[in-house]
Structure 1
Amino acid sequence: MRQKLISALLYILSLLPFWVLYLLSDFLYVLLYYAVGYRKKVVFENLKNSFPEKSEGERQEIAKKFYKFFPDLIVESIKMKTISKESVIKRVELLNPEEVYRHFEQGKAVIGVTAHYGNWELGIHRLSLMTEFPKLIIYKPLNNTDFNEVYNALRSRFGATMVPMKQILRHILKLRGQPHISMFVADQTPTYQDSDYFMEFLNQDTLVYTGTERIARLTKQPILYCHIGRKEKRGHYFCKFTTLVEDPDEYGLHEITHLHNNFTEKMIRETPEYWLWSHRRWKRKRRK
């Protein structure tokens, strides 16, 4: 029953035109930043530890820009419930889809890597409309099962298949020998049961997932990074694909993990306000 109510509310809100949703976003910015102070301690601590070389004023400016962008991400994600295919294509420009197609033309499946950067949610819709080959979106299930089911239904509107992390290999093996893309959002915080590997990321000792590398080694699939950046025009993005790894066997242990995390870090450093700073990314520490 709760799922139906949540879905109905999202549907009604998604019918609002973008200009109305952005008015709502402007209100949410004031509410979240000035009135509620949503996760301000987390955001400012993350920025301080990530950019110790920046002044307090510079970090505060990044924080304000993040809090202005974050409500846009919320309302744009709501809009995904009813957004048309034409609007998705208009709002997310694929700069070089041929970088993916060339692997498909060779009969290969590919592993995609992205981060909680730009509008990764809208990126799911754009990826779904990019090719008829299967699209697997690897996700970490939410604790709230109602929201989990509602958002998975929203994300899969245009043909993506949502796959829980623990079921990755099973789904990939079903598609063995068939071109497809498996998309990992690789900057999430793993549990100690999921990973024991730490590396430096944004100046901090960081527990990272190694699943992307492990799957690539098992399947021999190339790895492409999907950089979803924001354009100057509000609500418009670009997606640029970069092949990070052609042959996983050419890399040593953990080199692939470092490669895609370093790519994410470089992207964040260039335009930091579009990363999810409210996420408690560094809550896991090395066990003594």
Structure 2
Amino acid sequence: MPMYFFVLPFIYLISLLPFPLFYGVCDFMFFILYYVTGYRKKVVLQNLRNAFPEKSEKEIRGISRRFYRYFCDLLLETFKTLTISRASAIKRCKLTPEALAVFTRYAEEGKSIMVVMGHYGNWEWAGNTFSLECKHHLYVVYHPLSNKYFDGLIYRMRSRFGTGLIPMKDTFRDMVSNKGELSATAFIADQTPAPTSAFWTTFLNQDTPVFQGTEKIARKLNYPVVYAKVQRVKRGYYEISARTLFEEPAMTSDGEISAAHTKALEEDICKQPEYWLWSHRRWKHKRPEPVKKTTSPIIY
């Protein structure tokens, strides 16, 4: 608790800075994290080497440096959501006309949807823009923080413009209870699940576990699955694109949805790899060995 009340004024101060000064602070933070502390640099470099074995070490380090610049902007841009105006939120993170058309069509049809995305671009600003611009009530599935004070701060940042939050453990229950309203439930689907309950696939040249909950819920509720991408256009500006992956998830086979949204994210990462969250320990689990069947001896 003392740490929370110590840092809270600085968080608000950063949030209130005009953008030119704000990004000056981001530049200073980049210098500290990249050159002084080397925050998770070994993790980032190893992830990049494993994901892109065809790239030279010079290319890998170039991506790493650009990632840290983006990462520092992203962290502080999250604080900006505490005080950013509605007009500025929409100006700095826009829906493409095609994405708006996708969401508008489902709203006019009265269909609730599931939005699947990754830790790419600025997913925090994207949530604000969706809530301000779209007719669906947006819910975001999230992991509550263990510190109730910081968790409350994150909740305030994410819900300022009407976004609802659903703890991951309550996802299906809450989505069923929300069936009476026009809703869009967003899943950040590139987190690391328990290896034994995951769908396993190849992602960025590595065996990768994927949460099956997204797929299972989509098939049970038969909500259209929309993949969303938050592209960084230039510093401080993002663009949200969206496309439907499945209109009728109930008609899909096991693993089809998980494989499709994982592949879509991989394609986006390969185009501009610096805008994905490489500091995350995405590959900390190994694929479990298949259980060997044993034959019991026949006793006469």
Question: What's the TM-score bracket when you normalise by the shorter of the two chains?
Answer: over 0.9
Q: Which residue of 2 is the match for residue 142 of structure 1?
A: 145
2:199 to 197, 200, 219: 197
Whether the 8 Å CA contact 1:89–1:126 is kept in 2: the answer is yes
In structure 2, the residue corresponding to 1:184 is in which secondary structure? Answer: strand
- Equivalent position of 2:268 in the other structure: 267
Q: How does 1:114-193 map to 2 (within 5 A)?
A: 114-192=117-195
Unaligned runs of 5+ in 2: 290-300
Equivalence for 2:107: 104
CA distance in 1, matches of 2:183, 2:5: 32
Q: Is the 8 A contact 1:6 1:150 kept in 2?
A: no
8 Å Cα contact 2:103/2:134 also seen in 1? no
Give the CA deviation at 1:5: 5.0
Deviation beyond 6 Å, 4+ runs, structure 1: none
Structure 1 letter corresponding to 2:204: L
Measured in 1, the distance between the counterparts of 2:5 and 2:104 equals 38
Residue 253 of structure 1 corresponds to 254
Q: Give the C-alpha shift of residue 89 in structure 1.
A: 0.5
Contact 1:135/1:183 (8 A) holds in 2 = yes
| Residue type of the alignment partner of 1:282 | W
How far apart are the structure 2 equivalents of 1:7 and 1:246? 44
> Aligned pair in 2 of structure 1 residues 8, 31: CA closer, same or farther (>3 Å)?
closer
How far apart, in 2, do the equivalents of 1:205 and 1:60 lie? 23
- Superposed CA deviations along residues 127-166 of structure 1, whole A, max 9, x for unmatched, are 1112343211001223433322211111110001111111
Report which stretch shifted further, 5-14 or 36-45: 5-14
Q: CA deviation at 1:119?
A: 0.7
The aligned residue for residue 283 of structure 2 is: 282
Shift in Å, 1:178 = 2.7
Looking at structure 2, the residues matched to 107 and 132 of structure 1 have their Cα atoms a distance apart, in angstroms, of 10
Shift of 1:4: 5.2
1:221·1:246 contact (CA, 8 Å) conserved in 2? Answer: yes
The one-letter amino acid of 1:38's match is: Y
Q: TM-score, normalised by structure 1?
A: 0.95
1:19-43 per-residue CA deviation (whole Å, 9 max, x = no partner) reads: 1111111111111111111101000
1:58 corresponds to 2:69:
no
Q: Which residue of 2 aligns with 1:211?
A: 213
In 1, the alpha carbon distance for the partners of 2:164 and 2:250 equals 28
Shift of 1:192: 4.1
Contact 2:112 2:136 (8 Å CA) reproduced: no
Give the Å deviation of 1:249: 2.4
State the Cα RMSD in Å.
1.5
SS of 1:38 mapped into structure 2? coil
Deviation at 1:286, TM superposition (A): 2.3
CA contact (8 A) 1:85 1:129 kept: yes
Query: Deviation per CA, 1:216-264, whole angstroms, max 9, x where unpaired?
Result: 01101000011100003x1000000111111112321001000000000
The 1:285–1:146 alpha-carbon spacing in structure 2 relative to 1, beyond 3 Å, is farther
1:114/1:227 contact within 8 Å kept: yes
8 Å CA contact retained: 2:121, 2:230 = yes
Q: How far apart in 2 are the matches of 1:134 and 1:122?
A: 16
Helix, strand or coil at the partner of 1:198: strand
* Matched letter for residue 159 of structure 1: G
Letter in 2 for 1:225: Y
Secondary structure of 1:97's counterpart equals helix
Deviation per residue, 1:245-287 (Å, 9 max, x gap): 1111232100100000000000000000000000000011123
For residues 91 and 198 of structure 2, what CA distance do their matches in structure 1 show? 41
Q: Which residue of 2 aligns with 1:46?
A: 47
Q: 1:7 and 1:127 mapped to 2: Cα distance?
A: 27
CA distance in 1, matches of 2:224, 2:144: 26
